[in-house]
Every structure is written in structure tokens, then in C-alpha cells.
Amino acid sequence: MQEFIEDDNLDSDDEHELFEHYKFIADKGQELLRIDKFLMDRIPNTSRNKIQQAAISGTILVNKKAVKSNYKVKPKDEISIVLPYPPRVIELIPQDIPLNILYEDKDLIVLNKQSEMVVHPGYGNYTGTLVNALVYHFQNLPEGPMDNRPGLVHRLDKNTTGIMVVAKTEHALNHLANQFFERTTERRYNALVWGDFEEDEGTVTGHVGRSLKNRKVMNVFPEGDYGKHAVTHYKVLKRYGYVTLVECKLETGRTHQIRVHMKFIGHSLFNDNEYGGDTILKGTSFSKYKQFITNCFDILPRQALHAKSLGFTHPTTGKWMQFESELPNDMKEVLDKWETYISSRKEN
């Protein structure tokens, strides 16, 4: 396996930091592979053209020497690359993308995010995002933590569905952002995970940070020597034998927190291809069961995670606001299939 060497600038929040730096050491068993392909597999949200341009610019180094994009990576090669961040100010293109709005007033919007929708523009996703839709439907949204994130105070993964709140005024943005920072909001998710639980409820505590070997995913660091403090409370809602529907309540809000915490305790989310949930983890591999799981994956081609409810204090009225959303159709259909499957097994 490749070793990833953490660089101080990887997760920099410094607005003046214009470049991201990556360093890798090829495994001793590494097969010969073009360096542009090697880097494409390891750097999130990049493109082959971008890597090739870095080679032309002389910013891909192997053993401290610049190489071309067709260089073949060898065992134990020390590789570094410098890539420019996209401009902080990205032209936000308003797009008439339908939004499922659950509530709106002069201060905020509460909406139900669909699957396959990236929240804000970034590498490879400059259009078609939630923000592109927001700037079309709403005028003068306050600037978020970066110029391309107006109104945003929190995020959901691309393939996670469910409730989000968006600020419409500067006051609401600051007030809501502070609530998320102080952990006074209430966020509950429904997740279908592999395996059964001995207990009906529990808590997962473990620092969450980017994997030191694969920056595309997060990892749990139980000793707290890396990453950020993270706590997830879970409760069993329905047992299906091979899988379980659980409610997860976030005490903190780290990137991929539920997904990585569930994997950490041996219950990867159903069909989560980044955390090992896209293979048969429980049950048998007999043809009928395998076909059943394949059919479920086809219906739900993403991790089975939905932001079910969100509660917060209204930034102007001071009243507690609580919102609920129904499970999306793909999760409902898969749960129905599990109900039928388990019932048929009991009858036999």
C-alpha cells in the first residue's frame, strides 16, 4: 500500500494559501504505472489534464526531480505534486434547478436535498450544484465561509439526501453558523447499515481525520493523536438480520462522520463504496442472496444515508424550529425489499 505523508498545507483554511501539496511514497510492491494515472487514483476531485499541466510546469517531482506525465512510477518512489487551488472567487452561474423547499421566511430557507447534488462549486463541479440553484432562485444571499458558498452554514455529501438550512441574511448566517459551531443544533440521520447490533443503542467516539494513506476518505483515530474529536449516538430502529436501520444523532459534524464511525464499529453503510459497504458483508454469497443484494444496490446506487431531521433556534424570533423529512424513494424501496425478504425467510 502507498504511504501518504501529511503536508501542513493539505487542510489549510488560510485564504492566502493558493496551492495544495501532496506527497506519496510508492509501495515496495508497486507495479510500473504512469504517474498521471497514479496521481489520478489518489488525489480527490482532480483531472488528468490538470495533472499533465502540472508536469509541464515542472511541479511533479519524483525523488526530488521533475518528471513528465508519462513517467512510470517504481517501487519506493518519493512523489510530490503542487496543484493550484481554484480561484476563491468563482463565477456562480445561476441555474434553474428545482428545489424542494420545506420552509421559507425572510431569514432562512429549509430544504430537502436530493441525491447526486453537490452542495457547492469545487473541482470538477462548477455547475449543477445546490449553490447554483440557490443563486438562481434567491437574490443577495450572504457570503458563506468562501465566496462560492453563499448562504451555506453546513453541508451534506453529494449522495446523502435530506434536510439543510440556508441563510438569507448576514445576521441569520452568523447566528446559524454559531449554533452549528456550539453544537446547539439537533441533527438526526437514518442509515441502513450492514450487520445486526447486540445493543439497542450506543455511542461512537473517535477522532475523525483524513486517512494518511488515501486522502479521498476519512479515518478514525481512537487514540486522538490525529483528526478532530467526533461523537455519534445511534439507536436501532429496525432489524433485518443481515442489515439494520439505525438513527444517528450527531454531537459533532465532521466530514463523513457517520459513514466512517459506522465502519469503525463494523457496520459500514449499505452500498457505501468509499467505506466498504458496496460488497456483501453479512449473510451468504449464494446466488439468490447475491442477486437480491445486487438488485438492492441497483435501486439504491449510493450510501444509504438520509438527513431525517434538523432542529435549531430561529435567528430572529428565538423560537426552536424542528423539521422532518420523509425517506427518499430509493431508501423506501430497498427497505420494503428487505421486509419482503425477511418475511419470506421466516415462512420457509
Report the pLDDT value the prediction gives residue 173, as an integer from 0 to 100.
87
Residue 147 has pLDDT above 70, yes or no: no
pTM equals 0.75
Residue 269 or 55, more confident = 269
Q: Are 195 and 267 contacting, i.e. CB atoms less than 8 angstroms apart?
A: yes
Residue 140 has pLDDT above 90, yes or no: no
Percent of the chain with pLDDT over 70: 89
101-182 adopts what CATH topology? Pseudouridine synthase (3.30.2350)
Report the pLDDT value the prediction gives residue 106, as an integer from 0 to 100.
96
DSSP 8-state code for residue 4: E
3-84 adopts what CATH topology? 3.10.290
Closest CA to 110 of 121, 118, 119, 99: 99
Closest CA to 72 of 62, 81, 57: 62
Summarize the confidence of residues 12-18 as an average pLDDT.
29
Residue 108 or 180, more confident = 108
Q: Which of 14-23, 90-99, 192-201 is most confident?
A: 192-201
CA-based Rg of the chain, rounded to a whole angstrom? 22
Cα-Cα end-to-end distance for the chain: 45
User: What does residue 232 show for φ and ψ, rounded to 5 degrees?
Assistant: -125, 125
Report the pLDDT value the prediction gives residue 41, as an integer from 0 to 100.
85
Q: Examine domains 3-84 and 101-182 and report if their fold is the same.
A: no
Q: CA 263, CA 257: separation in Å to the nearest integer?
A: 10
**Predicted confidence (pLDDT) per residue in 156-166, tens digit:** 999 999 999 99
Report the pLDDT value the prediction gives residue 84, as an integer from 0 to 100.
59
Residue 11 has pLDDT above 80, yes or no: no
DSSP class per residue in 236-264: EEEE-SSEEEEEEEESS--TTHHHHHHHH
Report the pLDDT value the prediction gives residue 347, as an integer from 0 to 100.
66
Report the pLDDT value the prediction gives residue 1, as an integer from 0 to 100.
36
Q: What is the mean pLDDT of the chain?
A: 87
Task: Give me the residue spans of the domains in the chain.
Answer: 3-84, 101-182, 186-347
Least confident of 217-226, 311-320, 339-348: 339-348
Residue 324 has pLDDT above 70, yes or no: yes
Closest CA to 112 of 157, 163, 186: 163
Residue 315 has pLDDT above 80, yes or no: yes
Report the pLDDT value the prediction gives residue 308, as an integer from 0 to 100.
98
Residue 17 has pLDDT above 70, yes or no: no
**Predicted confidence (pLDDT) per residue in 248-289, tens digit:** 999 998 999 999 999 999 999 999 999 999 999 998 888 899
| Helix spans in the chain (H) | 35-40, 48-56, 130-137, 170-182, 257-264, 287-299, 329-347
Summarize the confidence of residues 11-34 as an average pLDDT.
66
Known catalytic residues are 157
Domain at 186-347, CATH homologous superfamily? Pseudouridine synthase (3.30.2350.10)
Report the pLDDT value the prediction gives residue 343, as an integer from 0 to 100.
87
Report the pLDDT value the prediction gives residue 6, as an integer from 0 to 100.
33
Residue 97 has pLDDT above 90, yes or no: yes
Report the pLDDT value the prediction gives residue 218, as an integer from 0 to 100.
93
**Predicted confidence (pLDDT) per residue in 57-95, tens digit:** 677 899 989 899 999 999 999 998 877 555 455 678 899
Tell me the torsion sign for CA atoms 124, 97, 154, 156. negative
